[in-house]
């Protein structure tokens, strides 16, 4: 296949990319067509490395040359077209200036079952009703980076594959295994059946410092429940937890952390104190799915 130049933002072949900031439109379009969006070549490459199948790729003329390897790689697959558009067409199509110059539309895959995701996991984060896409993305980024084994979502949690979540997560939603409960009330039962200890992160007065709680039974597989920044965890989930834990605070007239910070610290302690297996080596990547030429060392 060759790349296809498109000059009309209303061209039906570009329908996957319409109105990216229109949340209502996008939610229905993406669920109807079973797709998700990856923005920027770094995140697109991660989706490819994670084995997601592209529906199509959109590049601006300005970035065509710089991203030639990505373009060729997708064309070589033979299963997805690459569209080239001007900056003006891109803006008219997606609704903002596409300064990264690359969008990928990908096929979703069926989510695994809860039991499959937590089988053998040493550390799991469980998100209850976190409806903010930014927060979901940020938590995934920290959890994946630190080495948490899996995530579970309550039925009402925001979609990790929504564009904003994908972007904030830097693509870590592709690699951190996750599943969605279909039952909120009994959703924690699967964790208990598999012997995971359940800790609820909450600033309540009867909570203990998270480091102490984890160190007390180090190495035991553990699930950590995280609630919303405002309302926190439901009383039902708090009651079902084995222990309530908090991040110790120092006073200074500060009474809470933001959810990204709290989740990062909690995941750090969770991984530090739970024995964990070495991360499995990823599937071999085709050369065109490689990172930027500059090597990116692991780290903060």
Identity of the residue, 7 or 258, whose beta carbon is nearer to a second copy in the bound complex:
258
d(CA 110, CA 127): 20
Identity of the residue, 8 or 212, whose beta carbon is nearer to a second copy in the bound complex:
212
Identity of the residue, 2 or 250, whose beta carbon is nearer to a second copy in the bound complex:
250
Identity of the residue, 68 or 204, whose beta carbon is nearer to a second copy in the bound complex:
204
List residues binding a second copy (CB under 8 A).
Answer: 46, 49-50, 138, 141-142, 144-148, 168, 170-172, 174-176, 201-205, 207, 210-211, 245-258, 260-266, 268, 271-272, 279, 282, 291, 296-300
Instruction: State in angstroms the smallest separation of the CB of 12 from a second copy.
Output: 33
Identity of the residue, 84 or 214, whose beta carbon is nearer to a second copy in the bound complex:
214
Instruction: State in angstroms the smallest separation of the CB of 84 from a second copy.
Output: 27
Contact 137, 159 (CB under 8 A): no
Identity of the residue, 14 or 273, whose beta carbon is nearer to a second copy in the bound complex:
273
Instruction: State in angstroms the smallest separation of the CB of 143 from a second copy.
Output: 9
Provide the token pair at 137.
């993305």
Residue listed under structure tokens 């039925």: 155
Provide the token pair at 87.
């900056």
Identity of the residue, 171 or 187, whose beta carbon is nearer to a second copy in the bound complex:
171
Q: What are phi and psi of 9, to 5 degrees?
A: -60, -15
CA 94 to chain centre: 22
Contacts of 98 (CB under 8 A, 6+ apart): 60, 87, 90, 91
For residue 57, list its beta bridge partners: 82, 104
Instruction: State in angstroms the smallest separation of the CB of 111 from a second copy.
Output: 18
Identity of the residue, 93 or 144, whose beta carbon is nearer to a second copy in the bound complex:
144
Query: Which value, in Å, is the radius of gyration of the alpha carbons in the chain?
Result: 21
Instruction: State in angstroms the smallest separation of the CB of 255 from a second copy.
Output: 4
Instruction: State in angstroms the smallest separation of the CB of 148 from a second copy.
Output: 8
Instruction: State in angstroms the smallest separation of the CB of 296 from a second copy.
Output: 4
Between the alpha carbon of residue 10 and those of residues 30, 38, 100, 211, the distances in Å are 18, 21, 21, 55
Instruction: State in angstroms the smallest separation of the CB of 3 from a second copy.
Output: 26
């Amino acid at each position: 296949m060759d790349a296809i130049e498109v000059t009309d933002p209303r061209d039906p072949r570009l329908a996957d990319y319409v109105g990216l900031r229109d949340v209502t439109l996008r939610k229905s379009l993406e669920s109807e067509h079973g797709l998700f969006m990856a923005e920027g070549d770094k995140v697109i490459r991660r989706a490819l490395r994670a084995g997601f199948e592209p529906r199509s790729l959109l590049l601006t003329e300005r970035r065509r040359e710089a991203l030639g390897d990505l373009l060729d790689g997708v064309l070589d697959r033979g299963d997805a077209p690459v569209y080239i558009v001007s900056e003006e067409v891109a803006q008219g199509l997606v609704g903002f200036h596409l300064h990264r110059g690359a969008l990928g539309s990908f096929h979703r895959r069926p989510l695994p079952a809860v039991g499959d995701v937590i089988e053998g996991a040493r550390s799991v984060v469980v998100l209850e009703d976190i409806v903010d896409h930014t927060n979901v993305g940020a938590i995934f980024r920290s959890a994946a980076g630190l080495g948490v084994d899996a995530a579970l979502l309550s039925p009402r949690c925001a979609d990790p594959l929504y564009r904003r979540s994908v972007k904030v997560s830097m693509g870590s939603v592709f690699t951190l295994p996750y599943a969605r409960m279909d039952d909120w009330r009994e959703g924690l039962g699967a964790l208990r059946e598999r012997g995971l200890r359940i800790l609820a992160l909450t600033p309540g007065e009867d909570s203990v410092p998270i480091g102490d709680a984890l160190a007390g039974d180090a190495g035991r597989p553990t699930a950590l429940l995280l609630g919303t920044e405002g309302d926190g965890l439901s009383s039902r989930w708090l009651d079902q937890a084995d222990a309530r834990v908090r991040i110790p605070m120092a006073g200074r007239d500060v009474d809470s952390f933001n959810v990204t910070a709290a989740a990062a610290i909690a995941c750090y302690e969770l991984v530090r104190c739970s024995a964990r297996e070495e991360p499995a080596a990823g599937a071999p990547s085709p050369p065109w799915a490689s990172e930027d030429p500059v090597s990116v060392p692991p780290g903060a």
